[in-house]
Structure 1
Amino acid sequence: MNIPTATGAQAVDPQTAAAADPQAATDEGRFHGKAAALLITTLVLAVLAFQLNASMITPALPHIGSFFGETPEAVAQVQSMFFLAGAISGPVIGRWSDFIGRRNALLLVLAIMGAGTVLCIFAPSLPLLVAGRFMQGVSSAIFALSYIVLNEYLPARLFGTSIGIIAAINGGVGGVDGYFGGLMAETLGFQSIFVAVLVLAAIAVVCVIKVVPGGKSAVAPGRMDWWGAGSLSVFLVFITYFVSTGSSAGWTSPAALGLLAGSIASFTAFWLIEKKRETPLVAVHHLRSRQVWPVIATTVLTLAGIFAIINFTVVLLSQDKENGFGLSASVAALLFLTPAALIGVFAAPLAGWIADRRGWIKTVRVGTATSLACAIAAALFAHNQIAVLIAIAALGIFYNGFFLTAINGLSVLLSPKEAPAALPGINGASFGIGASLGVVVVAPFAGLGTAGGYSTALWISVSITALAFIVSLFIAAPKGEKI
């Protein structure tokens, strides 16, 4: 039966697809053939609308500062508030989708992002632009929502590959999106980037309405835990600012200690609230289980280790003329950033295909272990440009491909049955926390600009990644299940 929409369009549901094409869907309501391809394409468009907001704006930040006459420190809020909103929206909107339905949640975040994009296009001041960026950041929840939709509507044999396709976009469009973002900012103004994103978001909205099934998800009845969502959001804000403040003002500064106290208090409040709710954001006993906490910890630690290597330490090392490789910014990006991103685009779907057949937990461990090996190689041969280049390119396979795909798929498969969106949402927030933590931990050493400083930073990242691998060994499937 078709599901009517507010605009008069009709969504394609599995039963309709099966009637039109016997190969399109099974009696169990899973998409096959063209219906599956349309669903995956729709989610790719929705994810791209978010990802381009992240990657294309980075090279445009100097132009934004010049346009508004603001300092780099002030302009940094354009990105920081965007990612902060993303960290909050994933757990909250992901869990809310258990009650309002996946399609409604997708349309909600795309609408908020669209409104924020319009504000960014016409913003007369930097504060209003930052407000628009915060609204755009809410669309980060699209990743978690997409993973859940794929699990609910695709057969098991297509789930892994489709997760890989979505995860591949998490690193950008093969590394070329940042280049085009800079080019558009230079020739047409930074507002042109937002116009392009708005057009893409509008196309994604139409596709979601027509392709993603409507109705509510088949989860346990109940109501959204807004108290739990609020306390978790406060915790994420506190912990984010604690990490950034600690790195700049010192970990024992009054501001950092105050934020640490706020982090502890808000997480304690979240824990106590969840113990008393009938339908919590995520039940406390799940937070203690080996299906939840090791997944979150593995994500945080792996991001802290590997992200800092690729996006911070090696960036500084490659452009250092005295103690590094002395490359220009553009050449450094072309050699050390683009290959890993491009390789990841092809490796991620393959990783998902392998995970479906060899096991998701095993694939996470393989991805973490091989990423650790690449990190060790980079640290051992930090003085050798070719060796570092090969190590970072290999991370395109094992980190961008295997780890990111497997950990995202695993978060869906291990999420509590009564709260299927809980773990994907929280795990999504863990990406930003891990990336920020890794950078601030190695920054004092890599920032020295010495050979010893770069080496120390790389070995710190190796140690963190080694801890991530150890934690991944604690991940376990529920009894009687093989994942």
Structure 2
Amino acid sequence: MSLPTTSSRRTGGVVPVLAFTGIVVAVMQTLLVPVIKDLPELLDTAPSDATWVLTATLLAGAVSTPIMGRLGDLAGKRRMLLASLAVMVVGSLICGFTDNLLVMIAGRALQGFAMGAIPLGIGLMRDMLPPEKLGSAMALMSSSIGVGGGLALPLAALVAQHADWHALFFGAAGLGVVAIALTLAFVPESPLRAPGRFDLAGAIGLSAGLVLLLLPITKGSDWGWGSGTTLALFAAALVVLVAWGVMELRLKAPLVDLRTSARREVLLTNLASIMVGVAFYAISLVLPQLLQLPTATGYGLGQSMVVAGLCVAPLGLTMMLTAPVYARLSARFGPKITLILGMLIIAVGYGAGLGLMSAAWQTIIISVVIGAGIGLAYSSLPALIIGAVDPSETGAANGLNTLMRSIGTSVSSAVIGMVLANTADHVGGVAIPTMHGFRVAFLIATGAVVGGVVLAVFLPGRRAAAVQLRASSEEDAGLARAEEALAAFRGRVLDPAGVPVPRAKVTLIDRRGRQAGAALTDADGSYSLSVPDGGAYVLAATAPGHAPHASSATHHGAPGPVPLDLPLTPVTEQVR
């Protein structure tokens, strides 16, 4: 009989390794920013066709993120994290060896699958880390996209300026291989699994709906917002997503639990995520162009590609530095207040940016202020989501939240791209963005975060959360009374000193070696597992940092619980 096992490795390397994978994902996303304007020439294609190299990654990332999150809940988050990184490496190598547009688009789509690493990493942290370390760890993981983006811009610009641009993809592939190796070495698999099967029909429906929605958002400025193609795709997206939602509500194990997503705290957090995504992408679109425009325009700052990247880099560095600050603020005031504070700081940064665009050092100030705000806001989002969903839904819920951010960046890209195009001056057949367009873009970002603040105000605060917790406790007490009438095993998982082991997985295995049930222990180490009928069973307990343990037990099938405590020995004690 095969019993569940867990890794005996320490979890000390989990946080830095998972944060590194998030940075790798961000590097992949911003890889081509320094060469965007040169893509038509590099790929020997029209500018409208070259934009598909960026659109393909966006679409693939948006589609794969909730799917990989759900697969992680079902089959193992570490396993799906490795799969996401492996697909990214393959996509990077494909792009590195081609100049063909269609092949490049296919490779970039495969790179987009790496986006699933963010919710999977957050889910792994929740499953493994003690509560006192979880807040700062999730903040670091959540802000890693901005960190990687900020650091990647100057490095990618340096490579693109002094080497063959294909080297960017080989560098991304190398980083992906390093991330895979570190994950294999330092990140154990989570023992937690969600019940049910993968919803293939739901995945297909969501994928189709998202493609139909994001395609006109990203290409609407090229096709025309009132064109038949754009309007037809929006209408098709509405029909498909409504039909998908009706189907998901009828399933016992849907890809996305829409009832959970409709809870006030989850819904408002996801809507606020869209607003933060809009604000995050606006600065990435405006500042590099402003910095590189020639001084002859009267407002361009005439900087090189590398200097422009260095001026924007503080955006990511500040996001990284705000992770420990977020942990302290959240511990004192709660993630809701931290989210509101972060969005207010973003608004201040964009407001100040309206008058600080005349020198390179001023763009650095804008990057620092907005980076601090985005770092606080992004760090608050997973904490709000995790506090509102069941542990077994962590991957899918954070995948959906990451999708909301992606939709925000897509909307930002489309709307601000349209604004800059419609306000541009045409000189010698070349469209040159104007200062008026840049300021309108900053106003749009400011309006988005103000809308996000309004949404966040209606999130439940600490007092409301405490009321919800008490209500949940009363509901659990009612369930416990109901379980008294059921045949079950009940007890606690304890270490040799009698200290409870929270978040340990207890698996019930019948005499044929099949899993008959599973449960995760509460904060006091308690568990309860109902049995299908009387007979001999094995209860296997596993937890990170502990040696697995299995105990034989018999239940006669009569109503009521059979008490059974399970011991788990820390690995360090076994070594002694």
Specify if TM > 0.5.
Answer: yes
**Does structure 1 retain, via aligned residues, the 8 Å contact 2:6–2:191?**
no
Are residues 104 and 453 of structure 1, via their aligned partners in 2, closer, same or farther at CA, if it must alter by over 3 Å?
closer
Amino acid of the structure 2 residue aligned with 1:255: T
Match of 2:159 in 1: 184
Amino acid of the structure 2 residue aligned with 1:242: P
Alignment partner of 1:278 is 2:266? no
Deviation of 1:37 after TM superposition, in Å, equals 3.0
**Does structure 1 retain, via aligned residues, the 8 Å contact 2:22–2:141?**
yes
Match of 1:81 among 28, 49, 56: 56
Match of 2:573 in 1: none
User: What TM-score do the two structures reach when normalised by structure 2?
Assistant: 0.72
Match of 2:299 among 297, 310, 324: 324
Match of 1:390 in 2: 365
What is the DSSP-based 3-state SS (H/G/I as helix, E as strand, rest coil) of the residue aligned with 1:291?
Answer: helix
Are residues 81 and 3 of structure 1, via their aligned partners in 2, closer, same or farther at CA, if it must alter by over 3 Å?
farther
**Does structure 1 retain, via aligned residues, the 8 Å contact 2:55–2:218?**
no
Q: Give the Cα–Cα distance (whole angstroms) in 2 for the partners of residues 442 and 181 of structure 1.
A: 23
**Does structure 2 retain, via aligned residues, the 8 Å contact 1:291–1:414?**
yes
Count of aligned pairs: 452
Match of 2:441 among 443, 457, 460: 457
Which residues of 2 match residues 157-168 of structure 1 at below 5 A?
A: 157-168=132-143
Match of 1:20 in 2: none
Deviations 1:263-284 (A, max 9, x none): 2112101210111111112223
Are residues 329 and 80 of structure 1, via their aligned partners in 2, closer, same or farther at CA, if it must alter by over 3 Å?
farther
Q: Once the two structures are aligned, what percentage of the paired residues are identical?
A: 22
**Does structure 1 retain, via aligned residues, the 8 Å contact 2:147–2:319?**
no
Are residues 86 and 383 of structure 1, via their aligned partners in 2, closer, same or farther at CA, if it must alter by over 3 Å?
closer
Q: Give the Cα–Cα distance (whole angstroms) in 2 for the partners of residues 52 and 366 of structure 1.
A: 27
Deviation of 1:163 after TM superposition, in Å, equals 1.9
Alignment partner of 1:312 is 2:296? no
Deviations 1:239-269 (A, max 9, x none): 1112123323332221111011012112101
Alignment partner of 1:139 is 2:114? yes
**Does structure 2 retain, via aligned residues, the 8 Å contact 1:167–1:408?**
yes
> After alignment, is 62-71 or 226-235 more displaced?
62-71
Match of 2:210 in 1: 236
Match of 1:420 in 2: 394
**Does structure 1 retain, via aligned residues, the 8 Å contact 2:24–2:148?**
no
**Does structure 2 retain, via aligned residues, the 8 Å contact 1:305–1:461?**
yes
Deviations 1:21-49 (A, max 9, x none): xxxxxxxxxxxxxx333112321333233
Deviation of 1:197 after TM superposition, in Å, equals 2.6
Are residues 334 and 218 of structure 1, via their aligned partners in 2, closer, same or farther at CA, if it must alter by over 3 Å?
closer
Are residues 45 and 396 of structure 1, via their aligned partners in 2, closer, same or farther at CA, if it must alter by over 3 Å?
closer
Deviation of 1:459 after TM superposition, in Å, equals 2.4
Match of 1:408 among 378, 382, 390: 382
**Does structure 2 retain, via aligned residues, the 8 Å contact 1:63–1:190?**
no
Q: Give the Cα–Cα distance (whole angstroms) in 2 for the partners of residues 335 and 110 of structure 1.
A: 27
Q: Which runs of 5+ in 1 are unaligned?
A: 5-10, 18-34
Taking only aligned residues, the RMSD between alpha carbons, in angstroms, comes to: 2.9
Deviation of 1:290 after TM superposition, in Å, equals 0.9
Deviation of 1:417 after TM superposition, in Å, equals 4.4
Amino acid of the structure 1 residue aligned with 2:442: L
What is the DSSP-based 3-state SS (H/G/I as helix, E as strand, rest coil) of the residue aligned with 2:314?
Answer: helix
> After alignment, is 101-110 or 180-189 more displaced?
180-189
Deviations 1:47-98 (A, max 9, x none): 2332222223332456765554334433322222112111111101101111
Which protein shows a greater Rg? Answer: 2
Amino acid of the structure 2 residue aligned with 1:359: G
Alignment partner of 1:171 is 2:146? yes
Are residues 396 and 305 of structure 1, via their aligned partners in 2, closer, same or farther at CA, if it must alter by over 3 Å?
closer
Q: Give the Cα–Cα distance (whole angstroms) in 2 for the partners of residues 407 and 178 of structure 1.
A: 25
Q: Give the Cα–Cα distance (whole angstroms) in 1 for the partners of residues 84 and 3 of structure 2.
A: 21
Q: Give the Cα–Cα distance (whole angstroms) in 2 for the partners of residues 320 and 337 of structure 1.
A: 18
What is the DSSP-based 3-state SS (H/G/I as helix, E as strand, rest coil) of the residue aligned with 1:480?
Answer: helix
Are residues 311 and 281 of structure 1, via their aligned partners in 2, closer, same or farther at CA, if it must alter by over 3 Å?
same
**Does structure 1 retain, via aligned residues, the 8 Å contact 2:278–2:409?**
yes
Amino acid of the structure 1 residue aligned with 2:376: F
Alignment partner of 1:467 is 2:467? no
Alignment partner of 1:202 is 2:202? no
Match of 2:238 among 249, 258, 264: 264
**Does structure 2 retain, via aligned residues, the 8 Å contact 1:377–1:387?**
no
Alignment partner of 1:91 is 2:105? no
Deviations 1:408-459 (A, max 9, x none): 3333333344522222101111222111212332344444245544443332
Deviation of 1:462 after TM superposition, in Å, equals 1.9
Deviation of 1:133 after TM superposition, in Å, equals 1.4
Amino acid of the structure 2 residue aligned with 1:48: I
Structure with the larger RCO, 1 or 2 (CA within 8 Å, 6+ apart)? 1
Q: Give the Cα–Cα distance (whole angstroms) in 2 for the partners of residues 320 and 299 of structure 1.
A: 35
> After alignment, is 341-350 or 53-62 more displaced?
53-62
**Does structure 1 retain, via aligned residues, the 8 Å contact 2:220–2:230?**
yes
Match of 1:339 in 2: 314
Alignment partner of 1:287 is 2:271? no
Deviations 1:309-338 (A, max 9, x none): x12244444537445343335377257512
Match of 2:226 in 1: 252
Deviations 1:388-410 (A, max 9, x none): 653442112111x2111111333
Amino acid of the structure 2 residue aligned with 1:480: Q
Match of 2:81 in 1: 106
